[in-house]
Copies of this chain bind each other. A is one copy, B any other.
Amino acid sequence: MGGTGERVGDLGEFGLIARLIRGLPQAPAVALGPGDDAAVVAAPDGRVVATADLLVEGRHFRRDWSGPADIGHKAAAQNLADVVAMGARPTALLVGLALPPETPAAWVEELYAGLAAECAAAGASIVGGDVVGADAVTLAITALGDLGGAPPLTRSGARPGDVVAVRGALGCSAAGLALLERGASGPAELLAAHRRPRPPYAAGAEARAAGATALIDVSDGLVRDLGHVAAASGVRVEIDTAALPVPAVLGADGVRHVLTGGEDHGFAAAFPPGRVPAAWTAVGRVAAGAGVLVDGRPYEGGGWDHFPRRPR
């Protein structure tokens, strides 16, 4: 990267932006990329899918635990996964960066390279954004997508009798975070899963092709996110722990991490019986009722809340 000890405060807002957007690849869907008041992105479906997330240093990432490219990959991935969770194809990302003026310019360039590479992996382009000064590094990511003429796959269509299935890693990111919090150094695959999750972006198209009735990105934890599906669909979701895909590397805490860990950005869906695609794993069923049961009982193991309720 170009930095030779330069800080973002040395470059100025316009100098930094010019450096970041230089050479950004632009997919054919981008009618007008960075550099004007706004971008223009193709929305051939006549509708656009849009989602936005904030990531704050010290809460969503730590610069001593993750490199800048990792942070960029992860920030893009969690937003691109939300677009895929609607059954849509990601098209574009807008990137807002709040940066302390003393942040090394090379760190920001590597962050941006990670964002751009993750976008490319999902078929999307960075089309715009903003850079401002702040005391803490904060990323504000917006992802856009196209539904290709199909109805959106929401959380609200699950019906009693459907099969519940999952796709992609579950629990590995949470296990990696637990290792980092304890100061432990391995297993490397868990640390990597926390630093740079790999959402299976094909999941949206697979779910749509198989006639899924509901689809969600597992970002708050499997039990919690299936709770969102249960509430939105007016149904009960039943999970069988014996059916869960629990990687051996997770060890004794494996089931708990798979039920509560969210940041792998795998997917959960409901399918009509007999329609679960090959790459998915059936883990339970939809029934009449409310809430989520794990092996027939309510689960009290929790999940992720950005503002945990305080005891009073």
Contact = CB atoms under 8 A, between A and B. Distances in A.
A140 interface: yes
Contacts of A94: 50-52, 142
Given A11-B307, A48-B48, A53-B96, 17 more contacts: A13-B307, A36-B155, A36-B232, A37-B85, A37-B86, A38-B82, A40-B47, A43-B45, A50-B127, A52-B142, A54-B138, A56-B133, A59-B132, A94-B142, A133-B306, A136-B136, A138-B140
A306 B155 CA distance: 40
A113 interface: no
Interface string A25-64: 0000001100111111111111111111111100110000
Interface string A139-157: 0101111010000101110
A140 B52 contact: yes
A128 B305 contact: no
Given A12-B308, A60-B132, A85-B38, A32 B152 contact: yes
Interface string A1-39: 000000011111110100000000000000110011111
Interface in A125-176: 127-136, 138, 140, 142-145, 147, 152, 154-156
B54 A130 contact: yes
A312 interface: yes
A41 B52 contact: no
A128 B52 contact: yes
Given A16-B307, A43-B43, A138-B134, A38 B96 contact: no
Nearest to A51: B38
Contact of A43 (B47, B82, B308): B47
A88 B43 CA distance: 15
B51 A40 contact: no
A106 interface: no
7 contacts: A38-B49, A54-B134, A54-B140, A133-B306, A133-B307, A135-B136, A136-B136
